[in-house]
Amino acid sequence: MAYFIAKAVTNISLGKWMKNTSPYASGGDDSPEGVGGFDPPNIRRGPYPEFTWTAVFIGWAIGALIAVSIGYAALILGFAIEGSELAAILGWGILRGVMRRTSIVENNINQTIASAVNGASSGIMFSVPALFILSRTAGLESVADFNVPLMILACITGSVLGLAFVIPLRKQMIDFDRLAYPGGIAVATILKSPGAGVRKAVLLLGGALFSGLAHLLVLTYMGEDGNWHAGAAMGLPSLLNISLYLSVMTIGVGFLSGKGGFWFGAGGFICYFLLSPLLSGFAGPEIAGVISPEGVVVQGLVDQPSNMRKVIYKPLGIGMLVGAAIGGIVAAFPLILSAMKSMHSASKQSGGDIQNDEMPIRLLYAAIGLGALMMIWIAYTSVDNLSLGRAAAMALLGTLWVWIAGVIVAECVGRTNWSPLSGMTLIAVTILILIAKGGVDNPETIVCSMLMGAAICLAISQASDMMLDLKSGYLVGAIPRRQQLAQFAGVWLGPVIVIGLMIVLNDQYEIGSDKLPAPQAQALADVTQGILDDDVPAYRYTAGAGLGLLLAVSGLGGIGVLIALGFYMPFAIALTYTSGNCLRIAADKLKGDKWSHEVGIPIAAGMIVGEALVGVGNAFWNVLFADSDTAETAMQQGAVVVQTISMGL
């Protein structure tokens, strides 16, 4: 009898063990069956679903959505946000909430592909829009007529190069050096909580609906000028420039940035609450204004905030961006040395485990070689008169810069969660212009340099995103090789979507206007034009560069770029963004950090998606359907064709 009792207990224990170790049963809220009794027919055996067609297609769809949203926001605010957390939340909403799939590593593949697609939103929006901005300069009109398919191919080639260079460093940076990658840790936390992920997806959709409706109201009642001039309504001095950009999306981005984002708003406050009052009291009559002998007040620049920004603060901001970029490289020098050490250590690693975990190293070397040859061909065919020698020099130097900059940025993101992407791109384009200058005319110099610069920017962006995603995979037990393949599976789609989006937005809103300031691309355009024309506002750029350099080496990573953007951007945008920072601080204090992460952040992310989709949808609607004073829209032309065919029948 004792024997049979013992055997029964053993069988019951074994049954519980089998249930708890099933790939589809994580227990509690995260298991399909909750905490109910053991039901043997529902046991799922075999490996976790990971690299599936479901994950691929959902990753492409979510990636397209995020790329459109964050790309649109980047043109307004001048910086992009990481899309991996947003992809993981939406992934659980679809995979678990709709399809009842519970594999953590499958959602990890989904977010890897989605973030690879989204990598184009920052890489392209920081570089290619400069071509549209420069095309509005006399003599450079032709630069906007670049070869779109060739630009897309260049961006895809750069992405492949960036991944091929950085993948061999995974073992050293993540397994051995144990770099933190804070963004990767945040994504892994979401991946490990499928039930919470579904709830966050619902909150995100609610935030998107609210934001979309709010932006529709702004477009309906205020048109494209979404600024509320609160200072004038309250009778405050015009030099304070108090206006609010009526944008729920901007508030959402400010909420996501939290107190660290205050530096962006601080740049604007320094301009209009400190410098403008000081200049009003101590500057000459041209800036401070003067009272004529007849007693008439003649306004100076300081009382015209838009002109003050154009003449004083904008050039200072551009100089600060350049100085912050250079200072970022100087400040990152210890990280550069660490990255070089990681590369040296990684080159010594060998063994069966690595070969099983990683993509074959020979395949990556082949991708680098083929990518370098592709870059030469792309540079050579980008314009008519570029010599093969100059094209080869630009391509090979660009490939070398991808290797160096990609490793540096991956190290910086791993240690500080801050990426000097724009600075690396600015330096690369400047070097490329110096190589091309003299061999071709100015428009062709700009086109080939920007095309190669976009490829380099995408490469750096994909390299840092790959390492962040691999950190998430490391924490949830994913197979690195499959994640690496997933990243390659996503890089082709982003350039297609984002470049198409950029062309439509430029046709409708004009990139570089107050509606879409594109500050990073504007800075790149101004520096490019200054180099080619030997006409740079040297004293303002130099003063700004010195300031940006000091801020960059202050030890507070990234504040130089943020303050520079505050100088450069319309203050209405910075003020609205700062209100989002204040809401985040208030939420953290009154409701606690947990509430902010579980409720506030998903709603704020949805606020970005909703307004961006309405803004982009409005642009597409006007391009396709709205009446045009200058030319027929595509839809009007199609209607004429259909009518003609109908009459013929």
Q: Specify the pLDDT at position 18.
A: 36
Closest among 448, 450, 412 to 527, alpha carbons compared? 450
Q: DSSP assignment of 551-599, as one string?
A: HHTTSSTTHHHHHHHHHHS-HHHHHHHHHHHHHHHHHHHHT-HHHIIII
Six token digits for residue 83: 């899309």
- Write out pLDDT tens, residues 107-161: 999 999 999 998 888 778 778 889 999 998 888 888 888 899 999 999 999 999 9
Residues sharing a CB contact under 8 Å with residue 564, sequence separation 6 or more, in sequence order: 267, 317, 318, 320, 321, 323, 324, 544, 548
Lowest mean pLDDT among 77-86, 483-492, 493-502: 77-86
Could you give the CA distance from residue 648 to residue 642 in angstroms, rounded to a whole number?
Answer: 10
Higher pLDDT, 500 or 9: 500
Q: Specify the pLDDT at position 317.
A: 76
In the predicted model, is pLDDT for residue 188 greater than 80? yes
Q: Give SS3 for 145.
A: coil
- Residue pair 257/596 in contact (Cβ under 8 Å)? The answer is no
Q: DSSP assignment of 97-141, as one string?
A: TTT----HHHHHHHHHHHHHHHHHHHHHHTTTHHHHHHTTSTT-G
Q: Specify the pLDDT at position 148.
A: 92
Q: Specify the pLDDT at position 113.
A: 95
Higher pLDDT, 216 or 545: 216
Q: Specify the pLDDT at position 292.
A: 52
- Residue pair 271/240 in contact (Cβ under 8 Å)? The answer is no
In the predicted model, is pLDDT for residue 376 greater than 90? yes
Could you give the CA distance from residue 171 to residue 485 in angstroms, rounded to a whole number?
Answer: 16
Q: Specify the pLDDT at position 102.
A: 82
Q: What is the pLDDT averaged over residues 21-43?
A: 40
Helix axes 571-590, 248-257, angle to 10 degrees: 50
Q: What is the pLDDT averaged over residues 525-548?
A: 69
Provide the pLDDT confidence category of residue 487 given band limits of 50, 70 and 90. Answer: very high
Q: Specify the pLDDT at position 573.
A: 86
Label residue 258 left, alpha or beta by phi (over 0 means left) and psi (-120 to 50 means alpha): left
Q: Specify the pLDDT at position 582.
A: 93
Q: Specify the pLDDT at position 62.
A: 93
Looking at the DSSP bridge assignments, the partners of residue 546 are: none
Q: What is the pLDDT averaged over residues 347-367?
A: 68
Six token digits for residue 337: 């040395």
Six token digits for residue 532: 């080619």
Q: In a 10 Å sphere around its CB, with 0-12 CB exposed, 13-18 middle and 19+ buried, how is residue 515 labelled?
A: middle
- N-to-C CA span, the chain: 92
In the predicted model, is pLDDT for residue 335 greater than 60? no
In the predicted model, is pLDDT for residue 48 greater than 90? no
Residues sharing a CB contact under 8 Å with residue 223, sequence separation 6 or more, in sequence order: none
Q: Specify the pLDDT at position 556.
A: 57
Q: Specify the pLDDT at position 53.
A: 93
Lowest mean pLDDT among 56-65, 185-194, 354-363: 354-363
- Residue pair 212/612 in contact (Cβ under 8 Å)? The answer is no
Domain boundaries, the chain: 56-220+308-352+360-624
Q: Specify the pLDDT at position 392.
A: 93
Q: What is the pLDDT averaged over residues 179-188?
A: 76
Residues sharing a CB contact under 8 Å with residue 101, sequence separation 6 or more, in sequence order: 49, 54, 95
Please name the helix (run of DSSP H) or strand (run of DSSP E) that holds residue 459, with its range, or none.
Answer: helix 442-476
Q: DSSP assignment of 1-20, as one string?
A: -HHHHHHHHHHHHHHHHHHH
Lowest mean pLDDT among 107-111, 140-144, 210-214, 261-265: 261-265
Lowest mean pLDDT among 6-10, 306-310, 639-643: 6-10
Provide the pLDDT confidence category of residue 540 given band limits of 50, 70 and 90. Answer: low
- Residue pair 541/326 in contact (Cβ under 8 Å)? The answer is no
Tell me what the pLDDT averaged over the chain comes to.
77
Q: What is the pLDDT averaged over residues 443-452?
A: 89
Residues sharing a CB contact under 8 Å with residue 10, sequence separation 6 or more, in sequence order: none
Lowest mean pLDDT among 17-31, 282-296, 341-355, 435-449: 17-31
The dihedral through the CA atoms of 508, 510, 514, 515 has a sign that is: positive
Higher pLDDT, 2 or 181: 181
Higher pLDDT, 295 or 152: 152
Lowest mean pLDDT among 67-71, 377-381, 519-523, 555-559: 555-559
Q: Specify the pLDDT at position 488.
A: 94
In the predicted model, is pLDDT for residue 453 greater than 80? yes
In the predicted model, is pLDDT for residue 447 greater than 80? yes
Q: Specify the pLDDT at position 310.
A: 77
Residues sharing a CB contact under 8 Å with residue 268, sequence separation 6 or more, in sequence order: 566, 567, 569, 571, 574, 575, 578
- Write out pLDDT tens, residues 365-374: 899 999 999 9
Q: Specify the pLDDT at position 291.
A: 53
Q: Specify the pLDDT at position 33.
A: 37
The 3-state DSSP composition of the chain as helix, strand, coil percent (nearest 5) reads 75, 0, 20
In the predicted model, is pLDDT for residue 239 greater than 50? yes
Provide the pLDDT confidence category of residue 55 given band limits of 50, 70 and 90. Answer: very high
- For the entire predicted model, the pTM comes to 0.74
In the predicted model, is pLDDT for residue 45 greater than 70? no
Q: DSSP assignment of 245-298, as one string?
A: E--HHHHHHHHHHGGGGHHHHHHHHIIIIIIHHHHHHHS-HHHH-EE-TTS-EE
Provide the pLDDT confidence category of residue 348 given band limits of 50, 70 and 90. Answer: low
In the predicted model, is pLDDT for residue 617 greater than 70? yes
Amino acid identity of residue 646, one-letter, is S
Mark 538-568 as b/e (b = at least 16 C-beta within 10 Å): eebbebbbebbbebbbeeebbbbbbbbbbbb
The dihedral through the CA atoms of 169, 173, 175, 180 has a sign that is: negative
Angle at alpha carbon of residue 156, lines to 366 and 422, rounded to 5°: 110
What are the φ and ψ backbone dihedral angles of 291, each rounded to 5 degrees? Answer: -100, 120
Please name the helix (run of DSSP H) or strand (run of DSSP E) that holds residue 322, with its range, or none.
Answer: helix 314-331
In the predicted model, is pLDDT for residue 631 greater than 60? no
Q: Specify the pLDDT at position 21.
A: 37
